[in-house]
Structure 1
C-alpha cells in the first residue's frame, strides 16, 4: 500500500527526460516529491517514492558544499548540467543529491527520504529493520537500502541504472528549515526542506 497516496503513472519506470531537471533549485526540490527513485543492480531493482528533499543553493548558501564557488574533486560534478548524480560520504554514509541550476551554477537537491515501493525484500536484505517506515527514512538509510554507492557519482538521473521516474505530485507539501547544518550562520534558518505532508517515511 502506498501511504502517501502517490501512484505510478506508467508501469515501465521510464526515466524522466533531462528537461525535467531544468528548473530553479527550489522548484526542483518540490517537483521531485512524489517521483520514483530507481536503482537497477545485478541483485535486482529497487524503487521508492521521494517524500523529502532539501535544496542547497550553491555559492551564496553557507550550508552548500559549493559555498563561495568552492570547486574541489568532491564538488566538481555540481558545476555540471542539471540532472547529474552527486554522491558524497558523511560519517561513513553515502548521500545522494540531484545537481540543479545551470552549468557553473553549483546547486543541488539532497534526497532525504523515500517511501519503499518496489524491491522491498532486496532493500531489507541490505538494511534489515523491524518496521518498513525505518527502511529509507533518512539520507544515509535510503542509499544503503537502494544499493546506491559512491560509484554512482556523475551518473545521469535521466538514464539507467540510477534514475528518477514519473509519479504523481503529492496533495500537500510542507516546508521548513534544513537538518544538521547548525554551524552555517543564517543559512540554517532558510526554509529549504520540503516533504509530503503526513508521510510516515519522512526522516523526522
Structure 2
C-alpha cells in the first residue's frame, strides 16, 4: 500500500468480506488537527487500472498547495507511491489538509481512495464510498458501459435508502457525484 494512506474498509483475508476499520478512521477524523472543523472527504472510485492514482495525485498536489490559483505551475511534491497495483477496499489519506472555505472558515479535507478489485463487490464498495464521502468521483478509462451505469444506479439508490433512515433529519453531509470519462475521438 502506501505509507501516506490507511485502509478504512479492507478485505478480511479469512472471510474475503470487506470490514470497516474503525481505528484507522478514528485516527484521521478524530485527530487534534481536525478537531471540530467541518470535514470534506473526496472519494475517487473506479475499476482496476482506470487512472485513479493519477487523479488522487492531482488532488493531493492541489491540497498540498492549499488551493493556490497557480498550483499547477508550482514545483510539485512527489506524489504518494503505491507499493502494489491492486488496492482492494477504501483508503484514506493519513494527513488531513487544512483548507479555507469560501466563507473564510477553515475546514479539513481528506482524499479517500478506493479501488474495486472484485466485480461482485464493486457495487457495495461504491455505495460505501458514496455514504462516506462528500464528493465522489467515479473515474472511467473509456466510455461508460452498462455495468458502470448499473453500479452507479444501484449504489446511489442504496445511499439514498441509507440516508432515509435518518428519520426526516438532513443527512450529516451533502453528497455530490462527479463522473469522469476520457473523451474518445471527436473534435
TM-score, structure 2 as length reference: 0.31
- Structure that is richer in helix per residue: 2
Greater RCO (Cα-Cα under 8 Å, separation 6 or more): 1
Q: Scaled by the length of structure 1, what TM-score is found?
A: 0.29
